[in-house]
Amino acid sequence: MAETYRRKMTAYEEVNWQYNKAADLLAIPDQYKSILRNCYRELKVQIPLRRDNGKLEEYFGFRVQHNGARGPYKGGIRYHPSVNLDEVRALASLMTWKTALVDIPFGGAKGGVNCDPHSMSENELQVLTRTFTRKIDMCLGIYRDIPAPDVNTDAKVMAWMMDEYGRKNGYTPAIVTGKPIALGGSQGRQSATGLGVFYITQRACRDFKIPLTGARVVIQGFGNVGSFSAEYLQKGGAKIIAVADEAGGLINKDGLNVAALIRHTKERKGITGFTEADVLPKEHIFTVPCDILIPAALNGVITDQNVETIQAKIIIEGANNPINPHADHILKERGIPVVPDILANAGGVTVSYFEWTQNLQQFYWDEKEVQHKLEAKMDRAYTEVWEMAAKHNVPLRMAAFMVAIRRVYEAVQLRGI
């Protein structure tokens, strides 16, 4: 184990490190272990883009389908300069385990384009999105592969994808989830990941005996996941004392006014300039003493280099794969429990499943019904993870992988593979 830690792993190797350990604990036979670990299909496409200033630029887009034994491939689309095939593979694999863990009838996929959307006009983003959609069109389908929003993509991007796909295939709202409500999106989808983070935090705090009322919460990332998590946790009685985004950080030991900060973030496209808090260098976010720490930005942010600075009682992974295996091991030794991504942030894909279902049946639910169904799904998944952890005396991440792998293994076997 120590040997592997000495070498820096790629994101996909990190996910597979956890997967391999869990598959071994379940005694999955070697040939199946490899079939479940590897990706089914990987598509890389070229996206030439004529910028508004006339300059021609070249980007690359990816769609990786990891495992579809339990249903159509499902996973978000990310726009970020660091997007690459390895990272997309890692995130696609996590989606397989996440959809299996919350027991929704999907497989796992992920996609992305290696662009910097902050430097693009709305027109450029729309052209890029439509070109990308056309180029991956052959592997999409309402019963084949259904994209959703992820980092730097939102309902508007999903609307463009749906429209572009529909030009060739006709009216197909179920082709993407996370759409605007007016185009067939689901009530409660936008806030679903943050609400799921809240439900899971509530359960975990109860089990680890951390009172949620008055709990000090620190959040990295104040986009979709970070801001809704903050809002629900504050409503639940916690105090959000520090947040950071790409540009900087904020700290207020008495608790930030989350509603005001969300308004500010919408207007100013970031948290910078918010006056009801002190400025915190964004690198210091993992040094702030707190009860609950929520990484909700990018993957690979907590490593052996900074893990010792963390002074939290529990970590809830809002982001995907934010902690590398070495740091994960150190946190375990330090007795800081980690609620893993595939459980904590599964609320988004769960309500995506509800959106897809509503699109297929062309009958829509109100927000209360969506949230009620979400809570039931998250609650059941949490209980299964907790019981697996207790039975095998393993950390929650291992237990979550075990519950998920067992389900996918069963589906693969039943298909006669």
| CB closer to ligand NAD out of 28 and 315 | 315
* Active-site option among 74, 110, 179, 282: 110
Distance of closest approach, residue 139 Cβ to ligand NAD, in angstroms: 20
| CB closer to ligand NAD out of 23 and 125 | 125
Task: Judge whether 102 and 349 are in contact, CB under 8 Å.
Answer: yes
Q: Report how far apart, in Å, the C-alpha atoms of 100 and of each of 54, 76, 199, 403 are.
A: 46, 16, 19, 8
| CB closer to ligand NAD out of 23 and 296 | 296
Q: Return the CA Rg of the chain.
A: 20
Distance of closest approach, residue 414 Cβ to ligand NAD, in angstroms: 28
Read off the amino acid at residue 42: E
Task: Judge whether 343 and 400 are in contact, CB under 8 Å.
Answer: yes
Cross-strand bridge partners of residue 76: 148
Read off the amino acid at residue 312: A
Nearest CA-CA partner of 243 in 280, 200, 276, 275:
280
Known catalytic residue: 373? no
Cross-strand bridge partners of residue 239: 216
Distance of closest approach, residue 117 Cβ to ligand NAD, in angstroms: 9
Task: Find the DSSP H helices in 288-340.
Answer: 325-333
| CB closer to ligand NAD out of 244 and 381 | 244
| CB closer to ligand NAD out of 176 and 296 | 296
Distance of closest approach, residue 167 Cβ to ligand NAD, in angstroms: 26
Task: Judge whether 315 and 107 are in contact, CB under 8 Å.
Answer: no
Distance of closest approach, residue 230 Cβ to ligand NAD, in angstroms: 11
Read off the amino acid at residue 155: A
| Residue 32 neighbours by CB distance under 10 Å | 16
| Residue 195 neighbours by CB distance under 10 Å | 24
Angle at 189 between CA 183 and CA 195, to 5 degrees: 165
| CB closer to ligand NAD out of 85 and 151 | 151
Which residues have CB under 8 Å from 121's CB, separation 6+? 52
| CB closer to ligand NAD out of 14 and 245 | 245
| CB closer to ligand NAD out of 94 and 331 | 94
Task: Judge whether 342 and 108 are in contact, CB under 8 Å.
Answer: no
Task: Judge whether 364 and 174 are in contact, CB under 8 Å.
Answer: no
The residue number with the shortest CB distance to ligand NAD is 223
How many angstroms separate the CA atoms of 238 and 294, rounded?
A: 13
Task: Judge whether 382 and 202 are in contact, CB under 8 Å.
Answer: no
Residues near ligand NAD, by CB under 6 A? 149-152, 193, 220-226, 244-246, 282, 296-299, 318-320, 345, 348
Token pair for 268: 């100013």
Distance of closest approach, residue 55 Cβ to ligand NAD, in angstroms: 25
Task: Find the DSSP H helices in 148-191.
Answer: 155-169
Catalytic residues, by residue number, are 110
